[in-house]
Amino acid sequence: MPTNSADDADAVDGDVRDRLIEGTDASDGDSTDDSISDAPAGVTHPARKGGRVTDIPAVAARLTLTDETLEIREADGDDPASFDLRFADIIYLRDGQQEINGTAVESLSIRHVRPPAAAATTEVSLWDDAAHDRLAGIVGDYYRTQREAVAELEPTEPQLELLVRLYSLGGEMDPSEMLSKSAAELAALFDPLREVDLLRKGETGVFLTGRGYLLVNETMDDETM
């Protein structure tokens, strides 16, 4: 017998909330497909803000993968808890665990830039194991490609100093603040970094992209080894 589509949607989201509360497994109807669309998930955001662990609990969410972006929508429709996570903003990735209602579950721990602010970490657990593995593989492949591309870049010493300065700042910087440099010198310093997507233009200046964070992190790791 036909059912009301609105009732069906309410029942599905209610089911997601129940799984979050009870910590049980669930299968996704698209688990054999390469796509990930409206997949039930548990999301903690931010699990870390900067280097600080937050006390924010996991929430029931729906996750869609599109155009190298994770569209995360809170199941209760709470807009502040919904956001998009661009692959280009990812600066660290690892397999981890998060606690959902007293139970430790596998998660994908994604550290990323929230332009133009400092970095944050989001924990994502898809309820369907196959979908979760697919997501980890797709995001992992992109992250490895980004790291390989960054490893081939060779910024000059002044460019690297600028990237480190922006890394420490954790926000936007107005190039005009560098009063000791001429317009031509500023262009020579900033333009090549923008062209390889290490810097991006913001509302009041420029800020470090995910790729920029990666380069600074790799450089710092090399210097401390």
Confidence grade of residue 115 (pLDDT, cut at 50, 70, 90): confident
Four-point Cα dihedral 65, 67, 69, 73, nearest 10: -50
Q: Alpha carbon of 215 to those of 16, 87, 100, 138, 208: distances in Å? A: 39, 16, 34, 21, 10
Residue 34, pLDDT score: 60
Confidence grade of residue 29 (pLDDT, cut at 50, 70, 90): very low
5-149: CATH topology is: PH-domain like (2.30.29)
Closest to 62 measured CA to CA, from 109, 9, 120, 136: 9
One-letter identity of residue 104: A
For residue 20, pLDDT over 60 is answered with: no
CATH class of 153-224: mainly alpha
- pTM of structure: 0.76
Contact 173, 167 (CB under 8 A): no
CA distance 68 to 85: 9
Residue 78, pLDDT score: 63
- Predicted confidence (pLDDT) per residue in 118-134, tens digit: 788 999 999 899 999 99
Residue 6, pLDDT score: 46
CA distance 63 to 130: 14
- Predicted confidence (pLDDT) per residue in 39-69, tens digit: 999 999 988 877 778 888 888 999 999 989 9
- Residue boundaries of the structural domains of the chain: 5-149, 153-224
CA-atom Rg of the chain in angstroms = 20
Residue 179, pLDDT score: 65
For the record, the structure tokens of 32 come out as 């054999």
Higher-pLDDT residue of 121, 224: 121
